[in-house]
Amino acid sequence: MKILSRVLLVLAIIGLGWAVYNSIRVPVNFENTKTQREKEVIKELIDIRTAQVAYKQENNVHAANFEELRNWLENGNVRSVRKVMELSEKQLQDGMTEQKAWDIVKKARATGNWKEAEEAGLSSIVNGERVSFTRDTTFVNAKEAIFGADYDTSKLGIVPFSNGATFEMDTASVKTSSDIFIRIFEAKVDYDTYLGDLNQTELINLKDRVNQIGKYPGLKVGSLTEINNNAGNWE
């Protein structure tokens, strides 16, 4: 009987030790995995933001969906300005603007008379070649200009660790105190989408903590209700 009692006591101690160890291990593993996954999710949200900002610069609106955004990256163009020379502080103080400078140089090129441009400090001979204030606008492929030629647009909008789920994305306009409408967008994904295969108790606890403080239970960039300069909720 004494031997049996000792065995049961040892088993109870082992069981208690395992329970204590598990109570520490599970939350730590959950948090580590959450951190690793969110790094990848954030990278994708930043790419979405980068693409949407560029899209709006060229089209004055945000893309309504990811198909539209991907198509523009593959087939659309963005403006690229080639700049030669910058206006000095003195030139700016004297009332020179980039448009005035460019008009003077264009006139010189058309007439072959560079006196005015040279006197204004907008053109000179350097190593036997004429160097002049230049602002040339060209158009380049959107994807190459923004992400590089090797960027895979098919993955834009796909949530990592989600078996192919797509980020939620929408656009809106909000009126400022000056009665000006500003176009905004939001892209987001909830915890369930990219953490749903992890420990459910830890996931529920995480969502409860976030909901209690009135925050979005997941990651998002931008907003549909306020102008936040396209900030991410992790920033």
Residue range 169-205, pLDDT digits in tens: 999 999 888 889 999 999 999 999 999 999 999 999 9
* pLDDT, average across residues 35-56: 98
- On whether both 164 and 198 belong to a single domain, the answer is yes
- On whether both 72 and 146 belong to a single domain, the answer is yes
pLDDT above 90 covers a percentage of the chain that reads 79
Per the structure, the count of domains in the chain is: 2
DSSP string, 131-179: EE-EEEEEEEEHHHHHT-TT--GGGTTBPTTTTS-B-EEEEEEEE-TTS
Q: Higher model confidence: residue 13 or residue 145?
A: 145
- On whether both 163 and 73 belong to a single domain, the answer is yes
- On whether both 109 and 151 belong to a single domain, the answer is no
In a domain, residue 1? The reply is no
Residue range of the domain that includes 115: 86-132
- On whether both 158 and 213 belong to a single domain, the answer is yes
36 alpha carbon, distance to own chain's centre = 18
- On whether both 95 and 42 belong to a single domain, the answer is no
Q: Higher model confidence: residue 124 or residue 2?
A: 124
- Given this model, what pLDDT does residue 100 score? 94
- Given this model, what pLDDT does residue 6 score? 58
Q: Higher model confidence: residue 54 or residue 26?
A: 54
- Given this model, what pLDDT does residue 11 score? 52
Tell me the C-alpha distance between 153 and 80, whole Å: 21
- Given this model, what pLDDT does residue 35 score? 97
- On whether both 209 and 99 belong to a single domain, the answer is no
End-to-end Cα separation, the chain, in angstroms: 63
Residue range 67-123, pLDDT digits in tens: 999 999 999 999 888 888 899 999 999 999 999 998 999 999 999 999 999 999 999
**Residue 54 in contact with residue 77, Cβ under 8 Å?**
no
- Given this model, what pLDDT does residue 82 score? 82
- On whether both 73 and 170 belong to a single domain, the answer is yes
- On whether both 97 and 206 belong to a single domain, the answer is no
Alpha helix (H) ranges present in 62-124? 66-75, 89-93, 98-111, 115-119
Specify the pairing of strand 77-84 against strand 218-222. Answer: unpaired
pLDDT at 216 over 60: yes
- On whether both 71 and 110 belong to a single domain, the answer is no
**Within 10 A of 71 (CB to CB), how many other CB atoms are there?**
14
- On whether both 56 and 73 belong to a single domain, the answer is yes
Of the residues 132, 165, 198, which one is the last residue of a structural domain?
132
User: Comparing C-alpha atoms, which of 114, 149, 151, 150 is closest to residue 133?
Assistant: 114
* pLDDT, average across residues 150-172: 97
* pLDDT, average across residues 202-209: 97
Specify the pairing of strand 77-84 against strand 134-141. Answer: antiparallel
pLDDT at 4 over 80: no
- On whether both 55 and 165 belong to a single domain, the answer is yes
Tell me the C-alpha distance between 92 and 120, whole Å: 11
Tell me the C-alpha distance between 54 and 232, whole Å: 17
* pLDDT, average across residues 145-161: 97
Scan for tokens 């190593």, then name that residue: 127
